[in-house]
Each structure stands twice: as C-alpha cells, then as structure tokens.
Structure 1
Amino acid sequence: MSEFPIVSSGEKVTRQVLSDHPDLMVVAFRFDAKGAEGALHNHPHVQSTYVESGRFRFTLGDEEREVGPGDSFVIPSGMTHGCICLEAGMLVDCFTPRRDDFL
C-alpha cells in the first residue's frame, strides 16, 4: 500500500503517487465515471501511460487516440495532452523526472 494520500485531480478523478525517486515517479489515476476528464495540459516531464482498466480517448498534440486495457504510450516533454474517460478505469503514469508538484 502506498504511503501517499489519494487526492482529487478533477471531477470524478483521483490520483495517488505509488512510488517516487528524483528521477522517476509512478502515479495511479482513477476515473470513476464515463465523461470524467483529464484536462488538456503540458509539462516538461516525459510521461508514459499504461491503461490498467477502462477506455479513454486521448488528445496527444494534434492526434486523437482511443485506448483500452493493456495499451501504453509515451508523451514527449512539452506535448499538450489530456483525455476523456469512455469507460471507468485506471491509468498508471510514469514521469521522468519526478513531478514534485504531486508531492
């Protein structure tokens, strides 16, 4: 069990840091309902996303992509991205370097 708290990161969306190191952080994002949103944003971190469960429509720069369980992809530093939940589920994201704003 993670020592980090579960915090709200949007309506019907929570996040929990699972592990961290200055060079790498693993974070679980739970989307509790269809329509829950990961708002468009960007950051200097390289991010990998693994779909543990559910279905999501991601915007990655100028591209849209629908993903489901077992899918994964990498988001380059600075790329604008976000998602809409199509079916409740969980994303596991890794960030390098660590997202200090999540601590």
Structure 2
Amino acid sequence: MVKKKVLMAEGNLMMVKVDIKAGFVGDIDYHPEEQLCYVERGIIEFELSGKKRMLRQGDVQYVPANAKHQVKVIDDCTLLDVFTPLRKDLL
C-alpha cells in the first residue's frame, strides 16, 4: 500500500518519493527532522498538530520538527517528501 524510494540524500537534505494507495491511513508520526511534503498527484487529508487540511496535486505542506502529523489517502497519490537533516531511519 505504501512504496518509498529515496531519490537523493546528500549534505543535510533528503528527498523521498512515496506512492500510496487510496484508503491508507498512516499512524500518527513525528520526527526531529523538518519536512516538506509536495503532492505530485492524488488527494490526501493531512493532519498537523490537530488541524486537518486537504492537499491536492501541486500543494505543499510544511511539517516542523517534532510536530505530530498523520495522513489519510483519499485518492491514490505520489508524494515528494524533503527532509532536513537526513532521516537516517529511511536510508
């Protein structure tokens, strides 16, 4: 249901491509890295610190370090996630 591919990890930046099928509901997540989430295609409901926002193709969501967040996939999607510093758990 979720497929991740590290596209680049150099210096203090990392980009990960994530393909997720409709119906997926992620666990509540938080991590010490800052994150940008770009929706390449599809629709997701993104909850950040208790506030929900619908994201569609072309939308970007900023996630501060250690902020609790969760996604619910409405339509099959491809996300590009950028992290700083590198998320070692994804390498």
Q: TM-score range by the shorter chain?
A: over 0.9
Gaps of 5+ in 2: none
Q: Which amino acid aligns with 2:26?
A: G
TM value normalised by structure 1: 0.85
Q: Which has the higher contact order (CA 8 A, sep 6+)?
A: 2
Q: Given the alignment, which residue of 1, 5, 9 partners 1:20? A: 9
Shift of 1:36: 1.0
The answer on 1:89 being equivalent to 2:77 is yes
RMSD: 0.9
For 1:94 and 1:78, how far apart are their aligned partners in 2?
15
Shift of 1:37: 2.3
Correspondence for 2:23: 35
TM value normalised by structure 2: 0.95
| 1:1-103 → structure 2 map (5 Å cutoff) | 12-32=1-21, 34-103=22-91
Gaps of 5+ in 1: 1-11
Aligned residues: 91
Shift of 1:22: 3.7
* Contact 1:13/1:37, CA 8 A, preserved across alignment: no
